[in-house]
């Protein structure tokens, strides 16, 4: 056969594939109605595996992977169709969110945890040089300040060495704050002592838990030192300076050393030299600039087989790239979790709005935490 005859044959097969596909989707509608009436989950993983095995059995080995990919995509399309039939295209949740977008504003007061010389203060000075600082004793106080005088708050949420900061994830949900911006800084931890102190004098080391964790290899070389978790790295430096005790040291930044007149006993003691911390700027109001390209949501799901997989399918079917998933325990419900998810996208995109509308209906609990410009480039 010549190429025209070959293409004519392919065209004929494509018509058959189309007709069979539409017939299959009509049967999927019936399946969806049955599942809805009997309160069954959309995804049946065992059934999918059964079909896949039958599809490749006895077929040429060179096409096994392609057949698997073909049917896997077919399953995904079918689940998406069934989800739309289950939940419809109701976008009222997202419509309400869009109606309440607030414009970014020039802040008068910005809150951060710690004192001068802290990493939070560094982010404040880089992002809001004209604003008035409000120093807070805790992460929770930062969020509480949004209900009063503070326009924005600054919180660390993730470190490239030690991972997510659990307390911050929990507080975001508790106080209903929105992420409006993120900022990444390089973090160098240093051992600081009072003037004239030496490493051999040290008996106690003060720092925030993150500072101690990021310096664990260095601290392991000094097993006799007592490690004392403190409110903040800079507060630790401030305390050591106030005591004037050469047996006490702090793990903090060079900014803190300069601020409180301490000497650097050991520099760059963090075990990961590519040590970065991602900070978020939070607000009591939802902001979503036109150039926002990253979103965060918080959700919980039914404690049932396949619930998380079905939720992730919604994002996959919309072509949305997930960049982070963090789980947090639900209090009073052992072994059940909230999920914090970051992904690429914007509420200004229709595909994102539709996906989030579906996700909101499928989840037991669902909140959009923010839509902002990503500061992380992979």
Q: Catalytic amino acids? A: 277, 279
For strands 190-193 and 263-266, give the pairing.
Answer: antiparallel
CB 355 within 8 A of CB 315: yes
Residue 225 is classified by DSSP as S
Q: Which residue has the tokens 């945890």?
A: 113
210: left (phi over 0), alpha (psi -120 to 50) or beta: alpha
Based on the number of CB atoms within 10 Å of its own CB, is 4 exposed (0-12), middle (13-18) or buried (19 or more)? exposed
Question: What are the angstrom distances between the C-alpha of 276 and each of 49, 91, 187, 252?
Answer: 42, 38, 5, 14
Q: What is the largest CA-CA distance in the chain?
A: 93
Are 118 and 233 within 8 A, CB to CB?
A: yes
Rounded Cα gap, residues 226 and 247, in angstroms: 11
187 contacts 211 by C-beta, under 8 angstroms: no
């Amino acid at each position: 056969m010549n190429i025209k005859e070959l293409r004519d044959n392919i065209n004929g097969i494509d018509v058959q594939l189309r007709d069979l596909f539409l017939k299959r989707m009509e049967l999927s509608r019936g399946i969806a109605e049955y599942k809805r009436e009997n309160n069954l989950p959309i995804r049946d993983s065992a059934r999918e595996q059964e079909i896949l095995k039958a599809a490749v059995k006895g077929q040429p080995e060179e096409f096994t992977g392609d057949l698997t990919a073909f049917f896997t995509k077919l399953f995904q399309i079918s689940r998406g169709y069934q989800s739309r039939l289950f939940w419809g295209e109701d976008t009222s949740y997202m419509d309400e969110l869009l109606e309440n977008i607030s414009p970014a504003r020039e802040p008068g007061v910005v809150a951060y945890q710690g004192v001068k010389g802290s990493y939070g203060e560094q982010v404040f000075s880089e992002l809001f040089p004209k604003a008035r600082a409000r120093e807070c004793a805790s992460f929770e106080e930062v969020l509480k300040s949004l209900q009063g005088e503070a326009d924005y708050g600054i919180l660390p949420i993730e470190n490239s060495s030690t991972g997510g900061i659990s307390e911050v994830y929990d507080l975001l949900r508790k106080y209903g704050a929105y992420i409006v911006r993120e900022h990444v800084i390089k973090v160098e931890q240093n051992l600081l002592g009072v003037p004239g102190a030496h490493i051999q004098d040290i008996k106690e080391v003060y720092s925030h838990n993150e500072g101690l964790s990021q310096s664990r290899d260095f601290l392991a070389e000094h097993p006799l030192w007592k490690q004392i978790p403190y409110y903040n790295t800079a507060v630790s430096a401030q305390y050591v300076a106030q005591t004037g005790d050469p047996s006490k040291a702090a793990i903090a930044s060079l900014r803190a050393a300069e601020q409180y007149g301490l000497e650097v006993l050991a520099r760059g003691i963090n075990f990961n030299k590519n040590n970065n911390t991602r900070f978020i700027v939070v607000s009591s109001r939802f902001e979503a600039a036109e150039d926002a390209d990253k979103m965060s949501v918080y959700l919980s799901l039914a404690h049932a087989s396949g619930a998380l997989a079905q939720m992730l399918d919604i994002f996959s079917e919309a072509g949305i790239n997930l960049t982070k998933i963090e789980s947090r325990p639900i209090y009073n419900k052992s072994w059940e979790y909230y999920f914090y998810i970051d992904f690429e996208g914007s509420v200004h995109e229709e595909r994102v709005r539709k996906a989030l509308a579906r996700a909101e209906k499928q989840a037991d609990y669902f909140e959009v935490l923010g839509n902002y410009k990503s500061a992380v480039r992979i």
